[in-house]
């Protein structure tokens, strides 16, 4: 019965500001500890160490989005820089993922870009890479525009493209040579801008993956769908695409056995590891993606561990 709760319901909850505010007080309850690696930098570094020991590399995300106060954006910028410094100091194998709305995009574009530049400077000093997460469609073209601006100065930054958007393949064509994470998409978007049927999204997703790989561009395939993963592996073998040109990515806490299996087969398997107090929106979107995730979370909530 729980698994029949609709995707729309959880996506609606993910944007509820009152619940989001309350979630920061609850701590990692409601099963969120299953998929969020604590709320502090030391806690996430320990999780990354454990994943590295299993042959997995990581990207870490200090959770937060839709910030409307400059003080919050400045604090988030500092946290991102501190995270990069902690990654370097600890010697763990991890990149950094960021959200532009967390860094002030909804406040002022120039302010946001300056914050991102500070983070990229810190990443450059520690020889690291930063991936700009793609958010909902209202921020889509702003994100691509900012990426274009940043790439004129920095080569250690990329972004994410979502296969459920009609414009996915067209936008991808303009990003040849840019390291990208390709995903199906996790936000609720209207039929005016996005495919609504799973088979259409899957088809577009595979086409986008192949398109980017064939240009020789570094491609991160972010999916828990083993059928998609198998098709990508087969395609890369057929076209002699080296394993150094692509990687697979999955979320922390999901399909852990498959993650380790892929790594043991010699592929780069990167785990997206989120942490921080602002975990609520992220957690709700994970519940929305697949009905199975609801049962998974509830198991964590009622676990005696």
Catalytic residues: 133, 181
Q: How far is CA 104 from the centre of its chain?
A: 18
Residue found by looking up tokens 């990443």 in the block:
123
Output DSSP code: residue 254.
Answer: S
18: number of Cβ within 10 Å: 7
For residue 171, CA distances in Å to 10, 140, 141, 166 come to: 29, 11, 10, 10
Residue found by looking up tokens 């999780």 in the block:
47
Residues 81/116, Cβ–Cβ less than 8 Å: no
Give exposure, 48-85, as e/b (b: 16+ Cβ within 10 Å): beebbeeebbbbbbbbbbbbeeeebbbebbebbbebbe
């Amino acid at each position: 019965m729980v698994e029949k709760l609709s995707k729309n319901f959880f996506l609606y909850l993910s944007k509820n500001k009152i619940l989001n505010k309350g979630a920061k007080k609850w701590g990692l309850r409601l099963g969120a500890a299953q998929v969020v690696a604590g709320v502090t930098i030391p806690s996430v570094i320990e999780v990354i160490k454990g994943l590295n020991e299993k042959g997995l590399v990581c990207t870490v995300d200090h959770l937060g989005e839709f910030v409307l106060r400059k003080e919050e954006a400045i604090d988030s910028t500092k946290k991102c820089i501190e995270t990069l410094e902690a990654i370097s100091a600890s010697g763990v194998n991890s990149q950094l993922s960021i959200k532009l709305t967390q860094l002030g995009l909804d406040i002022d574009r120039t302010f946001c870009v300056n914050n991102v530049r500070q983070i990229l400077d810190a990443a450059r000093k520690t020889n690291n890479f930063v991936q700009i997460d793609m958010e909902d469609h209202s921020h889509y073209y702003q994100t691509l525009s900012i990426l274009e601006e940043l790439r004129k100065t920095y080569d250690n930054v990329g972004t994410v493209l979502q296969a459920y958007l009609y414009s996915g393949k067209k936008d991808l064509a303009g990003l040849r040579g840019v390291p990208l994470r390709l995903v199906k998409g996790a936000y609720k978007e209207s039929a005016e801008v996005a495919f609504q049927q799973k088979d259409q999204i899957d088809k577009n997703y595979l086409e986008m993956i192949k398109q980017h790989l064939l240009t020789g561009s570094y491609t991160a395939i972010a999916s828990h769908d083993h059928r998609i993963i198998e098709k990508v592996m087969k395609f890369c073998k057929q076209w002699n695409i080296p394993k150094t040109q692509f990687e697979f990515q999955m979320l922390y806490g999901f399909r852990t056995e498959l993650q380790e299996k892929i790594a043991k087969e010699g592929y780069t398997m990167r785990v997206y590891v989120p942490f921080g107090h602002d975990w609520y929106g992220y957690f709700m979107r994970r519940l929305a993606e697949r009905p199975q995730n609801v049962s998974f979370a509830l198991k964590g909530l009622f676990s005696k561990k």
